[in-house]
A and B are shown apart, each in its own frame.
Chain A
Amino acid sequence: MKRNLRITPEGTKDYLFKECTAVNYVCKKITKVFENHQFHQVITPALEYYDLFSSIRAEDMFKTTDNTGNIVVVRPDSTLPIARMVTTRLQNEVFPVRLYYNQAVYRNNPSLTGRSNEIMQLGVELIGSSGKRADLEIITTAVESMQSVCDDFRLEIGHSMLFNALADELDADEETKDIIKTYIENKNYSALNDILDKLPKSETATAIRKLPSLFGGDEVFAQAEKFIKSERALEALAYLKDLYSTLSVLNLGDKLSLDLGLVQRNEYYSGIVFSGYIPGCGDSVISGGRYDKIFNMFDCEMGAAGFAINVNFIAEKSKHSPKKNIAEVLVFAKSDETIMDAITYTSQLVKSGVKAQFSILSDEKEAREFAERLKIKRVEVI
């Protein structure tokens, strides 16, 4: 049998040195924003029961069984586990609670597409409140987080009820509606148009077809009002308009814009949604929104909004070039008798803030060569 000893599973990789530094830099900057805004960290298990993720396609998850035969999955998302945690463990907290996480999610992507199956995510959840204030808080925290790590980005906001209201009113059977929603979520616009072509012509079908092209500045509102007749969709549009004009005081220019066709991949979104992009990255690097509906599955009513940032996407494109961590001093013990002295001396240097390394090599010439190759300037012989 062929043994996979020297390769990692598809969609995963090792992170070495500078790659780690870049990831840590992004994490440090963003968690500072989160913590200063009083979001508190939580960690959820990497394994959860399959039942929790019914809103995520089964084939997208890594599954296994526990020893009683229940199906468990490697966490494909952090929001659902946090919702579970809030309903069961934080009932006596003062709401709204502000939580953040810094943990990877795992998705089983189709093979040979070069996509990461392991994505490091940083995210916040603002739970126990809904309405304009909470939505604004989440959007501005997202903007601040992006600003802390990249000069250039685009954040686009939309409203999940635009598409959902239109899809509900569409003259089609449930299965077709489900397919339409999947195409919209996956941004598979060509397949979307093909399926809409097959349906009887209607105002709703035309509106659904036009929505993805409505992105940009506030001119999109006038364009949308022309062909959206659905009352629920118009309500969502009015709310978005109000929110967008409120946000204009931030003077973000084209860093903040609108995308009326924006729909997030999970069906639990119920209000505003947003996605962010950075140059050189073909996928969105941040996505979030309002998902009050998520608590329905736990039989409780609670407002919730948040977002997740794909840390490794940003770290890969980050212009921050960290300096390599090089020791200033290599401490060499000239004989077996001085080993402990040399180790103690190294510890003293480290305690006083000097980057020092004890030489493991026992030959002085080899130790000096080693120092040269590692660009360590000083060698001290004890």
Chain B
Amino acid sequence: MKPLRIALTKGRLEKKTVELFEKLGYNCDEIHNKGRRLILSVGDGQFEVVLAKAADVITYVEHGVCDLGVVGKDTILENGTSFYELLDLGFGKCRFALACRKGHDFYHGYGAKTVATKYPNVTRAFFEGKNMDVRVIKIEGSVELAPLVGLADGIVDIVETGSTLVANNLEVKEYVTNISARLIANTASLKLRKREIEDLVNKMEALTSDDNNSNS
């Protein structure tokens, strides 16, 4: 039987997913000693893990070359089109927020506002929901810089602790939505390999809901 191929978002989500796999009793030695390899075997060869950048996880899953993926809700909101979202894994929690310079009244006046962000689709949808026509500028690096140098009135970005905002004299105006890691599946894979995928999802679900209860 071909292993189920799972795309993991490199970095923090990868570490958390590996912890989850290990709690389920799957051997993750190859991931711990991965070196420069990008495709790694997990368990007794029933899973194959692929490490990728967040947006690429979605691409690989949408094309069906990976059956499953672990990716943040932020990336799904920005890039998601056609796949199943199976499970909220409960880790990688943070929030999308609108922030601007401390004391600045973002909504004041009728002038069109300019917003800098790494997430133009999320930003556009957020302001469309408020019936606001804003100018969105895509920034690749530190978005916090944009309002400080006068490029934008505000930013829409991921906020975890808010310390970067504070250090740059910015403050959260409004929270857009909550974010956490999600398990996604290719639509065809879910049909063709229903049993294996359901089995894994049930195991993960049991574990993540336990964790959520013990945390609260």
Contacts and interface: CB of A to CB of B under 8 A. Distances in A.
Do A and B interact with each other, yes or no? yes
Given A114-B63, A187-B83, A190-B80, A216 B182 contact: no
Interface string B165-202: 00000000000010000101011111110100000000
B73 A190 contact: yes
Contacts of B65: 282
Nearest to B64: A282
Given A187-B83, A191-B80, A156 B62 contact: no
A156 B80 contact: no
Interface string A169-201: 000000000000000001111110110000000
B164 interface: no
A270 interface: no
A212 interface: yes
Nearest to A259: B191
A259 B63 CA distance: 21
Interface stretch (A8-16, A273-281, A374-382): A273-281
A191 B82 CA distance: 10
Interface string A77-100: 000000000000000000000000
Contacts of A216: 194
Given A277-B188, A280-B64, A281-B188, A188 B194 contact: no
B91 interface: no
A281 B3 CA distance: 16
A279 B65 CA distance: 10
A156 B65 CA distance: 21
B64 A189 contact: no
A282 B63 contact: yes
A280 B61 CA distance: 12
B116 interface: no
A285 to B, nearest CB: 9
B6 to A, nearest CB: 15
B76 interface: yes
Given A215-B191, A215-B194, A279-B192, A187 B64 contact: no
A206 interface: no
Nearest to B184: A190
B188 A283 contact: yes
Given A193-B85, A282-B63, A187 B187 contact: yes
A66 B186 CA distance: 41
B81 interface: yes
B26 interface: no
Nearest to B185: A189
Contacts of A279: 192
A188 B81 contact: yes
Contacts of A188: 80-82
B128 to A, nearest CB: 11
Interface centre among A154, A215, A216, A282 (most CB of B within 10 A): A282
Contacts of A129: none
Q: Of residues B64, B184, B192, which shows the largest number of chain A Cβ atoms within 10 Å of its Cβ?
A: B192
In the complex, the 5 A-B pairs of residues with the closest C-beta atoms, listed nearest first: A282-B64, A190-B85, A277-B188, A187-B82, A282-B63
Interface of B: 59, 61-65, 73, 76-77, 80-85, 177, 182, 184, 186-192, 194
25 contacts: A154-B191, A156-B191, A188-B80, A190-B76, A190-B77, A191-B77, A191-B80, A193-B85, A194-B77, A194-B177, A215-B191, A216-B194, A257-B191, A259-B191, A277-B188, A277-B191, A277-B192, A280-B64, A281-B64, A282-B61, A282-B63, A282-B186, A282-B187, A283-B64, A283-B187
